[in-house]
Amino acid sequence: MSELNDTPLAERLRPKTLDQYIGQEAIVGPDGPIRLSIKAGSLPSIIFWGPPGVGKTTLAQILADELDRPMFSLSAISSGVKDVRAVIEQASRKDLLSTKKPILFIGEIHRFSKSQQDSLLGAVEKGVVTLIGATTENPSFEVIPALLSRCQVYVLEGFGVDELERILQRALEQDEWLKEQNLKIEEKKALFQLSGGDGRKLLNTLELVAQSAIVDQKPITDDFVKRVVKQKMARYDKTGEQHYDIISAFIKSIRGSDPNASVYWLARMIEGGEDPMFIARRLLILASEDIGLANPTALVMANNCYQAVHSIGYPECRLVLSQTTVYLATSPKSNSTYKAINEAQAKVRETGDLSVPLPIRNAPTKLMKELGYGEDYKYAHSYGGNFVDHEFLPDEIKGAKFYEPADNAREKGVREFLKARWKKYFY
C-alpha cells in the first residue's frame, strides 16, 4: 500500500486539458469562448471572476498549455510594482526569442493597488503579454477602468451537486492513493455541503476525512465527516475554508443587533488575515440593506469606514472596522427600502417597459410639446406644503405600493409624512 502523497489531493487531480476540466460549460463548452479561442489560436487578455475553488488558476494553465504559450505567474498578495516590472521585462525577452506571446497570470488581482495595476497597462496595451487575472471580487470595483477595458471578463460559477459528484468520482477513480484505500462512502451530503461549491475544498475535505476513516476503520457518513472536520478544521481560512460561514455569522450577528458576537466574528476574520476591504464592503452593503432609513447615518458611517480602511490598511484599520461594526450592530434595523426595490423590480419584470405618463415626460423639442409631453404636469413647489396630488406611475400600475415604512422611530415619522399626503395609498 502506497503512502499518502505530500502533494494535496486537489493538486494531484488538477486537470491538464479542457476535456478533463469540470464545470463552466458556458465558457469552456463546445461553443464556449475559451474553446473557440483555443481553436483560433488567439487569446485576448482575460479576467476570471468567481468564488474560490472553481478552477480559475487551472483554466489559465490549461490555456497556456493548449496554446503552447510560456506562462509567468504573480501573486497579488506578495508581489509589488518592482516584481511586476521584472516579470514583464523577463516576458519581453522571452517574446523576442519566440513567436508565442507569453501569458502573465495574476492571482488575486483585486489585491493589486492602482500603481501595481498601472504598471501592467503598457505591457498589455503593446501586446508584450496576454494578461489573465483571477479575482473573487467584482472586477468593476477592483480593477482600474483602463485595464478592465482591455480585458474580457468571464464569470465562473460555484460547483453544483452534479459537478461536485463528478469531481468526487474522479478522485476515487483516478488518484492512486485513494484507489488503494477501498473507502466505503455511505453518505455524501455533508461533503458537498461543507464544500460550499468549492471543488478544492471538497477534495481537501475528502482527503482529510479519508485519512481518519482509514485509521478508525469506519465508513464515511455525514456524521463522521462533520465530526472529523470539526476536530481538524477549526482555524478560519481566508482562501475559502470557512470564508463564507464566518462572513455569514458576522453579518447575521450585526443584523441581530448583537455587538459582542459581531466583534468576535470580526476578530476571527482579522486574525485569519481576511482582506479588510472585503469586510468594509460587507459593512457598506449591510448599512443599506439591514439598517436603511431606520438610521440613515449608518450608510455614511459605513462609507467613511470603507474609505478609511482603503487609506490606512492593517493593522490600524481594525479599529475603524470595530467602531463601525459596533455602531451598525447597535443601530435600529429596517429592510424597508431593500424590500421596496425588490418588489419594484419584480413588478418591472412582470409588466415590462410601461410608457411614462405624458404629464411627467421631458419635452425638449417643439414636436414633443405639441404631442402633449409635459402637459398637465403640476409643479409641486407651486402648491401649499410643496405637495400636490399627482400620478407618477404608469396607468397600468397606478396606485401600486412598494415602500412600506418599518416600525421604528424614524420611519414612523416617514409614515405620518406620507399619510398626510397620500391618504389614497393607506399609509
Domain 350-425 has CATH 1.10.3710: yes
Tell me the CATH number for domain 243-329.
Answer: 1.20.272.10
Which residue, 92, 77, 78, 80, is CA-closest to 123? 92
pLDDT of residue 283: 96
SS3 404: coil
Q: What is the mean pLDDT of residues 138-156?
A: 88
Which residue, 357, 394, 393, is CA-closest to 376? 357
- On the CB side of 133, CA atoms within 13 Å amount to 27
pLDDT of residue 1: 42
Per DSSP, helices labelled H in 30-101 are: 33-40, 56-66, 81-97
What is the tens place of the pLDDT at every residue in 178-212? 888 888 899 999 899 888 888 988 998 898 888 88
Q: What is the mean pLDDT of residues 342-349?
A: 91
Q: Which three cell numbers stand for residue 110?
A: 483585486
23, pLDDT greater than 70:
yes
Using the Cα atoms of residue 304, residue 306, residue 311 and residue 312 in order, give the sign of their dihedral. Answer: positive
One-letter amino acid identity for 254? I
pTM reported for the whole predicted model: 0.57
111, pLDDT greater than 50:
yes
Radius of gyration of the chain (CA): 27
Q: What's the pLDDT band for 232 if we cut at 50, 70, 90?
A: low
Using the Cα atoms of residue 273, residue 277, residue 282 and residue 284 in order, give the sign of their dihedral. Answer: positive
- On the CB side of 231, CA atoms within 13 Å amount to 9
pLDDT of residue 5: 58
Beta strands in 108-264 (DSSP E): 130-135, 152-155
Residue whose entry in the numeric block shows the C-alpha cell 425588490? 342
Which residues does 364 contact at the CB level (< 8 Å), separation at least 6? none
How far apart CA 284 and CA 269 sit, in angstroms, is: 17
- The CATH class of the 161-232 domain is mainly alpha
pLDDT of residue 97: 55
Domain 23-155 has CATH 2.40.10.10: no
Which residue, 334, 266, 340, 273, is CA-closest to 305? 266
Q: What is the mean pLDDT of residues 212-231?
A: 83
Q: What's the pLDDT band for 241 if we cut at 50, 70, 90?
A: very low
- How wide is the angle at C-alpha 177 spanned by C-alphas 176 and 178, nearest 5°? 95
Q: What's the pLDDT band for 275 if we cut at 50, 70, 90?
A: confident
422, pLDDT greater than 80:
yes
- On the CB side of 341, CA atoms within 13 Å amount to 6
Domain ranges for the chain: 23-155, 161-232, 243-329, 350-425
Which residues does 316 contact at the CB level (< 8 Å), separation at least 6? none
